[in-house]
Amino acid sequence: MGAWGNGEKEQNKLYMRIDDATSLPHDVGTIIKDTTDPYVFVELKDDEGKVLAKKQSKILYNAGDNPSFNEELIFEDIEEPAGCSILITVWDKETSGRDKRLGHTEVSLGELPRTSEYVSYHGTTLGCVCKLNFALHTGSTWGNGTPVDVPEENAAAPQCCSMM
């Protein structure tokens, strides 16, 4: 095991399931109105903010305001993942010009449990009224372990906090 909460780099993966989004703008564009063509862009960052890896979902053309992505992204070979974060941004693909950012959020990976079951982040707001439903898991190779049970106290031990 590497530093606290981290496994060996070759085994460290982050699994992200992107389910759907709600309340995205239905029509976008200022001069030419078109239906939203959303996609999700994810940046894995280290503890200093340096981008280590990038992943993108497929573009859902003419998806409108409540698109269903139903897609999984996998980040591999992460060194010290418990100190990382992911920046998740939902974009609208433009046919001409720059893509339009619809919203974003950031998640600290140090809070993830050590499990291969998805932890839900459903209803995560993107800095506006838009919401993204996604889930994360660590593949059980890194993350916070299960809580440690506190041993029962000895009934014969004094209940006082100092000894004289």
Q: Read off the pLDDT of residues 90-133 as tens digits, 9 standing for 90 and up.
A: 999 987 778 989 999 999 999 899 889 999 998 888 877 789 99
Q: Is 160 contained in some domain? A: no
pTM: 0.81
Distance of CA 20 to the CA centre of its chain: 14
The answer to whether 124 touches 105, Cβ cutoff 8 Å, is yes
pLDDT tens digits, residue range 11-28? 899 999 999 999 888 655
Q: What is the pLDDT of residue 105?
A: 94
Q: What stretch of H or E contains 55?
A: strand 51-56
The answer to whether 45 touches 52, Cβ cutoff 8 Å, is yes
Q: Is 2 contained in some domain? A: no
Q: Is 93 contained in some domain? A: yes
Q: Is 51 contained in some domain? A: yes
The domain that holds 55 is classified in CATH as: 2.60.40.150
The residue segments making up the domain with residue 110 are 9-137
* pLDDT at 69 exceeding the cut of 90: yes
Q: Is 13 contained in some domain? A: yes
Domain count, the chain: 1
Q: What is the pLDDT of residue 33?
A: 61
- Give 158's pLDDT tier (boundaries 50, 70, 90): very low
- Give 151's pLDDT tier (boundaries 50, 70, 90): very low
Q: What is the 3-state secondary structure (H, E, C) of 6-40?
A: CCCHHHCCEEEEEEEEECCCCEECCCCCEECCEEE
* pLDDT at 141 exceeding the cut of 80: yes
* Dihedral of the alpha carbons of 70, 13, 83, 119, in degrees to the nearest 10: 40
